[in-house]
Copies of this chain bind each other. A is one copy, B any other.
Amino acid sequence: MTMLNVQVNRDRLWHSLMDLARIGATDKGGVRRLALTELDGEGRALVCRWFREAGLDVTVDRIGNLFARRPGIDPSLPPVVSGSHIDTQPSGGKFDGNYGVMAALEVARTLNERKIHTRAPYEVAIWTNEEGTRFTPVMMGSGVFAGAFELDYALAQRDLDGCSVQEALEGIGYAGDAQVGGRSIGAYYEAHIEQGPVLEDLGHTVGVVTGALGLRWYDLVFTGQDSHAGPTPMRLRKDALLGAARIVEGVNRIALDRQPDARATVGFMQVSPNSRNVVPGSVRMSVDMRHPRDDGLDAMEMDLRALSDNVAAALDLRAELTRVTSYAPVRFNEACVNAVREAAHRFGYRHSDIVSGAGHDACYVARVAPTGMIFVPCEGGISHNEIENATPEDLEAGCNVLLHAVLASAGIAA
C-alpha cells in the first residue's frame, strides 16, 4: 500500500512551520530561539501540544531530548524515528531544524488521517541544542544519545552567564527522567534544508544524502616582524600577511586538486597590528578542511603542513599549525539511503545523491542506528541567516519522501 496517493498535506506542513516561527520571530523574518531559553520552552510546549493532538505519547530524556511515539502493530519491533531540532542560531531562519521536526510530525498526522498502521512504532524526535551557540558542544542531545560524549559532561556545560545545561533544562521544565539512548532504533530519517546551493544550482528538488563530509579544523599563526611600510625595503621584510595570503591560495588549491569531493576554507583571519602603514608582524587564521573519506582528510592535512612549512621558510616566518577539532566522515546506511532514493524516484522528483557538508543530529544518530537524510533546496543556499527561505512545494516533496522512507522501514500492517 506504499502508494503515491498517500501524500502529506502541504498547507498543514507550511502553516505549522510558520506558527512555530512566531516564537522568537525577528524583525527581519528570521527566528532567534536559543537552546533551553524561555523561548525554546515555548516552542517545545507548542510542538508538544501538537504531538498530543496527534495522539502521540511524549517522553523526555535526561538531556531534554523529546520523543513522541505513535504505536506500531508489533510493539516488539524497534521504532522508526524521524526528527531534528527546534533551537536556532542567534540570527537564524524558520527552516533549519524546524523543518525536520515539522516534517516528522506531518508524517504522523498523515498516517493518522489515512488510518495507516505501521508494523514498527514511529517516533518524532526533537534533539536538544543542535546549534551549540549558547552551550557547546554542538549537536549535544543527539551526541549524548549516540554516546559521543557523556551525559554528565553535557549537563555541566555552562553558558556565558554561568547557567548550566542542567539548570536550564530544569528552568524550562524539560529535565526528563528517561535514560538517554541505550535503546534500539530500527531506522532514523532526518529531513533538512540543504544549507548549500547545490540542489538549487542543479534544479533538483530532493537530495538523497549518502553521508557527511569529515571535518578538520586548524589554527595557524604566522609570526614575522612588524616594520614600517615606508622605510623597510622589500628584501628586509618578514611579512606575516604575505604568508597568510599564500596559505589562503594554497588551501583553496588543496581542495581544487580533489574535486568534487573536497572543500577547504580560510574563514577567519586576524592581522596584527593591522595598520595601514605597518608590514604585519603576525597573522592568526583558521583552516577548515572537509572530505568524505579519512584518507582524503589525511592527504589534505599533509599538504597543509607542507604548505605551511614551505611558506614560512620562503618568507622567514615562524609557523604554528594546530589541529583543533575533527569529525570523522559519516556514511549513512545503504538501506535507508536506498529507501530515500526510491521514494524520490517514485514521486518523479528530480533528485541527486549528495554528501552533507555540515554536521546534523543524523551524523551522531548514525553511530547507533541505520540512518538516512533527505535534503530540500533553500533559496540561494543561504542558511543560519534570517533570510533563510524554502518553497512550500520543495518542503512538501521532501516530506513525501520522508513519509515513504518511514513506511518502507516501519512496514505497513495489512
Which residues of A approach B to under 8 Å, CB–CB? 194-198, 201, 213, 215, 217, 225-236, 239, 241-242, 244-249, 252, 255-256, 259-260, 262-263, 265-271, 274-280, 286, 288, 290, 356-359, 380-385
In the complex the two chains form, is B263's CB within 8 Å of A229's CB?
A: yes
Residues of chain B within 8 A (CB-CB) of A197 are 227, 231-233, 236
Q: What separation, in Å, do the CA atoms of A268 and B229 have in the docked complex?
A: 11
Cβ-defined contact, A227 with B196, below 8 A = yes
Q: Are B233 and A196 in contact (CB under 8 A)?
A: yes
Complex Cα–Cα for A24 and B346 (A): 80
Q: Are B275 and A383 closer than 8 Å at their CB atoms?
A: no
Among the listed B234, B239, B263, which residue makes an inter-chain contact with A230, where contact means beta carbons less than 8 Å apart? B263
CA distance A13 to B213 in the complex (A): 68
Query: Do residues B234 and A263 form an inter-chain contact, with CB atoms below 8 A?
Result: yes
Report the copy number of this chain in the oligomer: 2
B384-A228 in contact (CB<8A) = yes
Q: Is the CB of A239 within 8 A of B215?
A: no
Closest B-chain residue to A275, C-beta based? B267
Q: Given the known A-B contacts A274-B267, A274-B268, A277-B288, are A248 and B255 also in contact in the complex, defined by CB atoms under 8 Å? A: no
The residue that A231 contacts in the complex, of B196, B244, B277, B288, with Cβ under 8 A, is B196
Task: Give the residue name and chain of the B residue nearest to A354 (CB).
Answer: B231
Task: Report B-chain residues with C-beta under 8 Å of the C-beta of A381.
Answer: 227-228, 231-232, 236
A263 touches B233 (CB 8 A): yes
Given known pairs A196-B227, A229-B290, A271-B268, the reply for A234 and B259 (CB within 8 Å) is yes
